[in-house]
Amino acid sequence: MRAAHLQAVASGPSVAPAQGVGADAAAGHRWFPAGTHITVRGLTKRFEGGTLYENFDLDIPKGKIISIFGPNGCGKSTLINMMSGIMPYDSGQILFEGKEVRESRIGYVFQNYREAVFPWLRARDNIRYPLQFLGLSRAECDARVESLLASFDVKLDLNRYPYEMSGGQQQLVSIMRALVVDPEVLFLDEPFSALDYEMTLFLRDRLQKVLIERQTTTLLVSHDLDEAVCLADIVLLLTKRPTHVSEIVPFDAPRPRTVDTTVTPEFVRVKSHCLEVFQREVRKP
């Protein structure tokens, strides 16, 4: 089956095989299409209840925000869990610019921040926790945390423990912990769904700003179509299981995107199209 080339659809040019080789090939890494960050080939995942993915192919472009949207239980979380190395798969290959996931720097934000943040650590220590694996000095770690805090432009008492923080502040800590390693790829599994609307808008705004500044390749799983479209460069629409790509829909409105974006004709057009594709899919027997 032909791979779904998100970049080719989003920005026009077709994939140019030769340019993916070069330095990475010399370093022993495998070939990947030019401009592509994550290459999924022949991915198969089965659970006891049946097949979720069968020979699934996908190319994720570098430096873009990709929203993943699809019917209930089609495997959105499973897809990012397999990509990020959290969950094994039966067969196939997932490469990051030709490298294995363990050779890449990734960040992951879970929906349930209460289970994700370490309750025994202050905000500062939660955020800098992954830095211990990078062998940085204490001063360098502190500088990274401060710089991240400045990028988010938010007031947060870093000496607080999670139980002393609101849900939104805990999720902010969890997001900052994922970003402090300067990940090449950030995975977000419904990061705002447990937060109130005000906090959701605030975090969407700040996170978007940081991601754009850093050009981090981002995969966002969202159940909220407004959110999925509003934040995305590309919306990846999935089918019912066995899951494959239903459609790839680019959205290139100017950034930063705000609630005002959601009333523009282009947003309404793209969202309506995504909804139509989604409804067609869920109505299938």
Ligand X SMILES: Nc1ncnc2c1ncn2[C@@H]1O[C@H](COP(=O)(O)OP(=O)(O)OP(=O)(O)O)[C@@H](O)[C@H]1O
The distance of closest approach from Cβ of residue 69 to ligand X in the complex, given in angstroms and rounded to an integer, is 9
The distance of closest approach from Cβ of residue 87 to ligand X in the complex, given in angstroms and rounded to an integer, is 8
253-263: b or e for each residue (b if 16 or more CB lie within 10 Å)?
eeeebeeebee
Distance between CA atoms of residues 202 and 198, nearest Å: 6
The distance of closest approach from Cβ of residue 240 to ligand X in the complex, given in angstroms and rounded to an integer, is 10
Which residue, 28 or 49, is less far from ligand X as judged by CB?
49
Q: By rule CB under 6 A, what string of x and - marks binding of each residue 22-51 to ligand X? A: -------------------------x-x--
> In one letter, which amino acid is 244?
H
The distance of closest approach from Cβ of residue 253 to ligand X in the complex, given in angstroms and rounded to an integer, is 26
Nearest partner of 222 among 116, 66, 106, 86, judged by Cα: 66
Helix (H) or strand (E) holding 237: strand 234-238
The interface region with ligand X, picked from 72-80, 145-153, 162-170, 276-284 by CB under 6 A, is 72-80
Question: What's the length of the chain?
Answer: 285
- Taken in order 15, 16, 22, 23, the sign of the CA dihedral is negative
The interface region with ligand X, picked from 4-12, 76-84, 145-153, 254-262 by CB under 6 A, is 76-84
Q: Does 52 bind ligand X (CB under 6 A)?
A: yes
Q: Does 72 bind ligand X (CB under 6 A)?
A: yes
Which residue, 46 or 209, is less far from ligand X as judged by CB?
46
Residues 77, 169, 217, 239: which binds ligand X (CB under 6 A)?
77
Distance between CA atoms of residues 213 and 32, nearest Å: 25
Q: Does 112 bind ligand X (CB under 6 A)?
A: no
Which residue, 37 or 76, is less far from ligand X as judged by CB?
76
The distance of closest approach from Cβ of residue 150 to ligand X in the complex, given in angstroms and rounded to an integer, is 34
Which residue, 76 or 177, is less far from ligand X as judged by CB?
76
> Which residues are CB-neighbours of 160 under 8 A, at least 6 positions away?
122, 123, 169
CA 284 to centroid of chain Cα atoms: 28
Q: Does 88 bind ligand X (CB under 6 A)?
A: no
The distance of closest approach from Cβ of residue 125 to ligand X in the complex, given in angstroms and rounded to an integer, is 30
Which residue, 4 or 141, is less far from ligand X as judged by CB?
4
Which residue, 76 or 271, is less far from ligand X as judged by CB?
76
Among the residues of 107-264, which ranges form H helices? 113-116, 123-128, 138-152, 167-179, 197-214, 225-231
> Which residues are CB-neighbours of 146 under 8 A, at least 6 positions away?
none
Q: Does 188 bind ligand X (CB under 6 A)?
A: no
How many CA atoms are closer than 13 Å to the CA of 189, on its beta-carbon side? 19
Binding interface with ligand X (CB under 6 A): 47, 49, 52, 72-78
